[in-house]
Chain A
Amino acid sequence: MDFGLRLFYAPHNRIVAQEIVDAIEGDYPELPVTASQLDDSTSQPYDASALVLLFDRDFEGDPARVDWLTKFDSSRTTTPLLPVALDLSRGGPPDPIAKLKSRFWPTDRDEILISIAACMGLALRPGTNKVFVSYRAVDGTRSAELVEQALTGHGFVAWRDESKTIYDAPNLALGTDVQKEIEENLSTASAMVLLDTPRAGESSWVRLEVEAAVGKMIPILPIVLHDESCDTQVCRFRTLQSLHRRAVVESTYEAEQLVLPAAELDDIVKLVERYLQSVYRNRVLHLRELERFLHSKNWSFDRNQHLPHLHSGRVQQATHALSLLACCSFEEQVFAPRVRAFVDGMSQLAKLKQMFNCNYYLYPGQTLRDQDLLEIMQKEVPELIEASAEVVSYNEAVARISAVSGGFGV
């Protein structure tokens, strides 16, 4: 899957499609957007972090398009799909995706742009776009189902991650095998909505899952549920208690289940989207700040004139000039397809006689050990080992460049 957005439109909607692309690029200049005509038979729905489908009242009049949409929807697996209606007279989306909520362009412009950035926030963790709904079955199942439905209805792939009942007892020491199982579950989570019900806080399973998710910096949004007899404002999980991002929702008990009011569900999805949007926006800032930082050190560091997805940098030092080529990834981990594309980019530039002293694939997020990086390379991109390139985290690059530039600087 390629990091970016793919927008599909019918040929007669080309102008409005361009208008939407312009709006997206205006708000999120670093976001790669590809617009594809629906009649383009080579369109591949899979290679994007999010899909947007523009439709109008004529869409269902064309059986070929409906057929295409049926296949398209079933093949998108975990990629979020946002249907956007272009005329108010057309209510919901076309039949094959009628279960999804559509937004109207231009009426819902801001909402659409937030949803798109939210999808990108999800996609920062490569490999999956699942929103995990973590809860305890004994009092949270019904609400978890409702949240799952609401997220799915907004085009996301939600996954209910129920705590294992046998580990629900408080103060139960969990063994290494349980920790491994939880880690494995979380390896496919791109974000987590935690239903913090009164009984969830008692579960050792949920507690450990929350801690593991925090440790992995998986975006977690706690929804604190309480009934009218208990107006707690505080998250029941010590790890999350100081978080500002949380919502407290008064709910009602129905047969021991604490059930979220239906009227809150849309807002909860909006909250998830807002949070994921801020995750994406913060990540994009890293690149801009890195550019600013290098400029402040008298480096040039700008998009390469031939391959704009790469950055070329250069600094004149006392004895020699240092020139570097960098691929600045947004993704959380080292993402092999992107590294491979970087290696290809280096070869292309070499053919154009553009050579660099250093080549860096820069990744954001937690700095990995050299040994782990080497293993990733050996397993997934062995050609990088032969290439004169290093895989370095953003903050490691800042630290090393600061050190080599004679210190801190302001």
Chain B
Amino acid sequence: MSKSSIHVPELNLHGIRVWLSGAIPEPEGETPDTQAVLEAWQGSELECGILGFVQEFASLVMKFGGQIIHGSHPSFTPILLECARRHFRTEHESPLTLCVSDYWPEEDAGERERWRQVARVTVVRRAGTDDDRDASLALLRESMAQDCNAFVAIGGRWWSAVPGRAGVPKEFELAKKQKVPSFVLGGFGGVSQTYVTENPRWLDGLENGLSEEQNQQLSINTNFVLTAGKIVSQLHLLNKRSGDSNTLGASG
């Protein structure tokens, strides 16, 4: 295939390990009987946007040599596994790391074994007591924060019934502590949106090389194709610029 590499070169994301944080937010209303869903049809733009982004972003990162790290949310995991299957390199160099806490048992026998066919699976030990769900989650998040050198958040559950449980803000704070380039996508709803609209200081510590205005634009973008492409291009440029700095892929 003839390449036009002089003009529009391919990208290099080797060494970049992106922690992908988020989930599809829970529906606001319940009782979705058929007639009610039809009458109040809003399409499925929200989940199409979030899941579409996950697929497009992950496959692009993987294609150009980067890796995705994710905390095994059920709505994202099958998509990430399919991306990893398509972009699988070698047994020792999977483009996907799925982290799980052994607080949660496998939903299906052999589930993690199936994941291991294409992904690296990191099982993080649960916190001491049997019912310490949140402490086990904190350990899981610490592990992902240690492993990543870039961070992207999209969607995320509000957990309105359990104050303080929403994961995206906690994970973003951990990423900021690591001083890794971070991108928070508020245009696709969920707690990411709440975070950028209600927290005036959300821009602090993003370290992603974009101006405040560019980050504001990114945080309201609702098109997942453009969003995925733009973040990947920025990761490529950061990677290129970083050289031997310790923030991105160059650190390995």
Mask of B217-231 contacts with A, CB within 8 angstroms, 1/0:
110000101101110
Q: Is residue B199 within 8 Å, beta carbon to beta carbon, of the partner chain?
A: no
CB-contact partner of A172 in B30, B46, B109, B225, under 8 A: B109
| CB–CB B33/A408 < 8 A | no
What is the bound-complex CA distance between A264 and B34, given in angstroms?
A: 7
| CB–CB A374/B1 < 8 A | yes
| CB–CB A408/B210 < 8 A | yes
| CB–CB B83/A366 < 8 A | yes
| CB–CB B81/A396 < 8 A | no
| CB–CB B108/A207 < 8 A | yes
A252 to chain B, nearest CB (A): 15
What is the bound-complex CA distance between A242 and B23, given in angstroms?
A: 8
Q: Is residue A275 within 8 Å, beta carbon to beta carbon, of the partner chain?
A: yes
What is the bound-complex CA distance between A398 and B38, given in angstroms?
A: 35
List residues of chain A with CB within 8 A of the CB of B223.
285-286, 289
Residues of A in contact, count (CB < 8 Å): 82
Q: Is residue A367 within 8 Å, beta carbon to beta carbon, of the partner chain?
A: yes
B227 to chain A, nearest CB (A): 9
What is the bound-complex CA distance between A372 and B33, given in angstroms?
A: 43
Q: Is residue B48 within 8 Å, beta carbon to beta carbon, of the partner chain?
A: yes
List residues of chain A with CB within 8 A of the CB of B34.
223, 247, 249, 264, 267-268, 271
Q: Is residue A307 within 8 Å, beta carbon to beta carbon, of the partner chain?
A: no
CB-contact partner of B59 in A174, A214, A367, under 8 A: A367
| CB–CB A410/B47 < 8 A | no
Q: Knowing A171-B109, A247-B33, A264-B34, say if A366 contacts B56 (CB, 8 Å).
A: yes
What is the bound-complex CA distance between A270 and B1, given in angstroms?
A: 44
CB-contact partner of A233 in B31, B74, B77, B234, under 8 A: B31
List residues of chain B with CB within 8 A of the CB of A374.
1
CB-contact partner of A389 in B2, B57, B109, under 8 A: B2
| CB–CB B87/A390 < 8 A | no
| CB–CB B7/A404 < 8 A | yes
Mask of A239-269 contacts with B, CB within 8 angstroms, 1/0:
1111111111110000000000000100110
Q: Knowing A233-B32, A243-B47, say if A403 contacts B237 (CB, 8 Å).
A: yes
Q: Is residue A199 within 8 Å, beta carbon to beta carbon, of the partner chain?
A: no
| CB–CB B48/A282 < 8 A | yes
| CB–CB B234/A390 < 8 A | no
What is the bound-complex CA distance between A397 and B28, given in angstroms?
A: 35
| CB–CB B78/A390 < 8 A | no
Q: Is residue A357 within 8 Å, beta carbon to beta carbon, of the partner chain?
A: yes
List residues of chain B with CB within 8 A of the CB of A394.
225, 229
| CB–CB B237/A396 < 8 A | no
What is the bound-complex CA distance between A316 and B26, given in angstroms?
A: 47
| CB–CB A245/B47 < 8 A | yes
What is the bound-complex CA distance between A370 and B10, given in angstroms?
A: 11
List residues of chain B with CB within 8 A of the CB of A366.
55-56, 59, 82-83, 86
Q: Is residue A336 within 8 Å, beta carbon to beta carbon, of the partner chain?
A: no
B10 to chain A, nearest CB (A): 7
Q: Is residue B124 within 8 Å, beta carbon to beta carbon, of the partner chain?
A: no
| CB–CB A239/B8 < 8 A | no
Q: Is residue B113 within 8 Å, beta carbon to beta carbon, of the partner chain?
A: yes
What is the bound-complex CA distance between A285 and B2, given in angstroms?
A: 29
List residues of chain A with CB within 8 A of the CB of B77.
239
B77 to chain A, nearest CB (A): 8
| CB–CB A367/B23 < 8 A | no
| CB–CB B233/A400 < 8 A | yes
Q: Which of A173, A245, A377 has the most chain B CB atoms inside 10 A of its CB?
A: A245
Mask of A267-280 contacts with B, CB within 8 angstroms, 1/0:
11011001100110
| CB–CB A404/B79 < 8 A | no
| CB–CB B30/A367 < 8 A | no
Q: Is residue A204 within 8 Å, beta carbon to beta carbon, of the partner chain?
A: yes
Q: Is residue A66 within 8 Å, beta carbon to beta carbon, of the partner chain?
A: no
List the B residue with the shortest CB-CB distance to A215.
B82
List the A residue with the shortest CB-CB distance to B50.
A242
| CB–CB A400/B8 < 8 A | yes
| CB–CB A248/B74 < 8 A | no
What is the bound-complex CA distance between A223 and B38, given in angstroms?
A: 13
List the A residue with the shortest CB-CB distance to B35.
A267
List the B residue with the shortest CB-CB distance to A281.
B43
List residues of chain A with CB within 8 A of the CB of B210.
408
What is the bound-complex CA distance between A393 and B37, given in angstroms?
A: 33
Q: Is residue A293 within 8 Å, beta carbon to beta carbon, of the partner chain?
A: yes
What is the bound-complex CA distance between A120 and B110, given in angstroms?
A: 38
Chain A residues with a Cβ under 8 A of chain B: 171-174, 179, 204, 207-208, 211-212, 214-217, 223, 233, 238-250, 264, 267-268, 270-271, 274-275, 278-279, 281-282, 285-286, 289-290, 293, 322, 357-358, 364-370, 372-374, 377, 384-385, 387-391, 393-404, 407-410
A-B contact pairs, 26 of them (CB 8 A): A172-B109, A173-B108, A217-B82, A223-B34, A233-B30, A239-B78, A243-B44, A247-B34, A248-B33, A289-B225, A364-B225, A365-B55, A366-B55, A367-B63, A373-B1, A374-B1, A388-B2, A390-B3, A393-B59, A395-B60, A395-B232, A398-B233, A399-B232, A399-B236, A402-B229, A404-B9
Chain B residues with a Cβ under 8 A of chain A: 1-4, 7-11, 23-27, 30-35, 37-38, 41-48, 51-52, 55-57, 59-60, 63, 74-75, 77-79, 81-83, 85-87, 107-110, 113-114, 157, 210, 213-214, 217-218, 223, 225-226, 228-230, 232-234, 236-237
**Assuming A233-B30, A240-B75, what are 12 further A-B pairs, CB within 8 angstroms?**
A207-B107, A239-B77, A242-B24, A248-B33, A274-B43, A367-B56, A385-B1, A390-B4, A395-B229, A396-B229, A403-B233, A409-B214
